[in-house]
C-alpha cells in the first residue's frame, strides 16, 4: 500500500442515514443485441447515493463502469437491453421513454465526460453551448442565460468569463475545458452529477485542481455524485463509498476508507497494490497478472478466478455478495481484515 493511501483519515464516512437517497440502482443488467443474440455487458449492479455523497465506481478499463453510468443517464447504445430498476429522487426512471429520459438530463442529472474535446461542440462557441442548455432547461431569456453562464464560469475558477464565452473549445487548455464541462454539468441545478474519469486526460497538477473543484461543488451544492475511476488514490481521497467492478460484476462495495485500508476481495487488494508510491521511487509495483476477459468470454463462476492467487475448485461457481469484515465482497476466499 502506498504511503499516500495509508495516510487516509480514519473518520471518512457517508452522510447521515436520514439523508435522502437521490439515486438508487437495483439489479441493473445491460446486454447488447447483435447478430448472435444478446451479449451481456454488466450483471446485477446495485448501489445507492445519498444527497451530498460521492460514490465511486472503480475498476480497470473494460469492467463496465462507463456503460453502467450511460444506462443511468439514459444514453446507452440503441441496441442495449437494460434490466433492473433505476430510481432518481424517488421516481422510477428505467421504464421511461427515451424522450422522457432526455428531459431529465441537465435539469436533474448532469454528466461530466472524460474528454471535453469530443464532448463539447467544436464549431459552436462556449457561450452558445451554455446558453442553449440554460434556455432549454430553465426557460431563461438570452440575456439571463448569458449572465448565468458567465457566473458559472467564474464559479468554477475560469478568469475573464465573458471573453471565454465568445471562444471555442480548441482555444482552451485541458484544465479549462474540463472546468467548462463542470460548469455545464451543474448549470441547471441537478441533484445528481455523474463524472466519468474526468481527470484522465490531465496532468497531475491540473488533476488535483479539478478534483478539488468537484469536491467543492459537491459540498457547496449538496450534490449526489457518481465518480467513475480506476484510481484508488482518488477513491480514498474524494469518495465516501466505493463500488468495485470487475468484468461487469460488482465484487466489493462499502465505505471507501474501509476498502482502501482493508479490502476483502483479492481484486480490490490488487488495485491498491498496483498504485505507485510517490514517496519511494525505489518500490516496485505489484501488477495484477493477466487482463480483464473480453465481453462474452467470462469464465464460469468467479470472473476474477483466472487472475487470482487464492483460486480453488470452489471458485468455479459464482459467489454471492456477502458481508466480510466491514465491506460486502463477492468471494469464496476473502482476505482477512487488516489489524
Which pTM does this prediction carry? 0.90
Predicted pLDDT of residue 285: 75
**Helical axes 142-155 vs 174-186, angle rounded to 10°:** 120
pLDDT in tens, 71-101: 999 999 999 999 999 999 999 999 898 889 8
Cα 168 to Cα 52: distance, rounded to the nearest angstrom: 32
Residue pair 198/178 in contact by the 8 Å Cβ criterion: yes
| DSSP-H helix ranges across the chain | 3-6, 65-73, 98-104, 116-119, 126-138, 142-155, 161-166, 174-186, 204-221, 232-238, 256-261, 266-273
C-alpha cell of residue 298: 467470462
Tell me which DSSP letter residue 306 carries. Answer: G
Residue whose C-alpha is closest to residue 217's, from 181, 253, 244, 243: 181
Rounded distance between C-alpha atoms, residue 332 and residue 339, angstroms: 21
pLDDT at 5 over 50: no
At residue 230 the predicted structure's pLDDT band, cuts being 50, 70 and 90, is confident
Angle between helix 126-138 and 142-155 (nearest 10): 120
Given a cut of 60, whether residue 17 has pLDDT beyond it is no
CA distances from 224 to 29, 41, 92, 101, 194 (A): 22, 25, 17, 18, 9
Q: What percent of the chain is predicted at pLDDT more than 70?
A: 92
pLDDT digits (tens, 9 = 90+) for 112-170: 998 888 899 999 999 999 999 999 999 999 999 999 999 999 999 999 999 999 999 99
171: number of Cβ within 10 Å: 12
Amino acid at each position: 500500500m502506498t504511503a499516500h493511501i495509508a495516510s487516509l483519515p480514519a473518520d471518512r464516512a457517508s452522510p447521515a442515514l436520514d439523508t435522502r437517497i437521490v439515486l438508487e440502482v437495483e439489479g441493473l443488467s445491460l446486454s447488447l443485441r447483435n447478430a448472435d443474440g444478446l451479449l451481456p455487458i454488466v450483471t446485477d449492479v446495485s448501489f445507492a447515493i445519498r444527497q451530498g455523497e460521492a460514490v465511486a465506481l472503480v475498476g480497470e478499463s473494460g469492467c463496465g463502469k462507463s456503460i453502467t453510468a450511460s444506462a443511468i443517464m439514459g444514453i446507452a447504445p440503441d441496441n442495449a437491453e437494460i434490466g433492473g430498476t433505476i430510481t432518481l429522487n424517488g421516481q422510477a426512471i428505467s421504464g421511461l421513454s427515451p424522450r422522457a429520459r432526455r428531459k431529465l438530463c441537465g435539469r436533474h442529472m448532469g454528466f461530466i465526460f472524460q474528454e471535453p474535446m469530443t464532448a463539447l461542440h467544436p464549431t459552436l462557441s462556449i457561450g452558445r453551448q451554455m446558453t442553449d442548455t440554460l434556455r432549454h432547461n430553465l426557460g431563461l431569456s438570452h440575456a439571463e442565460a448569458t449572465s448565468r453562464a458567465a457566473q458559472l464560469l467564474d464559479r468554477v475558477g475560469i478568469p475573464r468569463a465573458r471573453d471565454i464565452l465568445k471562444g471555442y473549445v480548441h482555444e482552451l487548455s485541458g484544465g479549462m475545458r474540463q472546468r467548462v464541462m463542470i460548469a455545464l454539468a451543474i448549470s441547471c441545478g441537478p441533484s445528481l452529477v455523474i463524472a466519468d474519469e474526468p481527470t484522465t486526460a490531465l496532468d497531475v497538477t491540473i488533476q488535483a485542481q479539478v478534483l478539488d473543484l468537484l469536491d467543492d461543488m459537491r459540498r457547496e451544492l449538496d450534490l449526489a455524485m457518481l465518480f467513475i475511476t480506476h484510481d484508488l488514490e482518488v477513491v480514498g481521497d474524494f469518495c465516501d463509498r466505493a463500488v468495485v467492478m470487475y468484468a461487469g460484476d460488482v465484487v466489493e462495495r462499502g465505505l471507501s476508507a474501509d476498502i482502501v485500508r482493508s479490502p476483502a476481495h483479492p481484486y480490490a487488494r490488487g488495485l491498491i497494490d498496483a498504485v505507485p508510491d510517490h514517496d519511494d521511487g525505489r518500490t516496485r509495483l505489484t501488477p495484477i497478472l493477466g487482463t480483464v476477459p473480453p465481453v462474452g468470454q467470462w469464465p464460469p463462476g468467479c470472473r476474477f478466478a483466472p487472475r487470482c492467487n487464492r483460486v480453488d475448485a470452489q471458485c468455479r461457481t459464482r459467489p454471492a455478495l456477502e458481508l466480510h469484515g466491514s465491506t460486502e465482497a463477492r468471494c469464496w476466499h476473502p482476505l482477512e481484515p487488516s489489524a
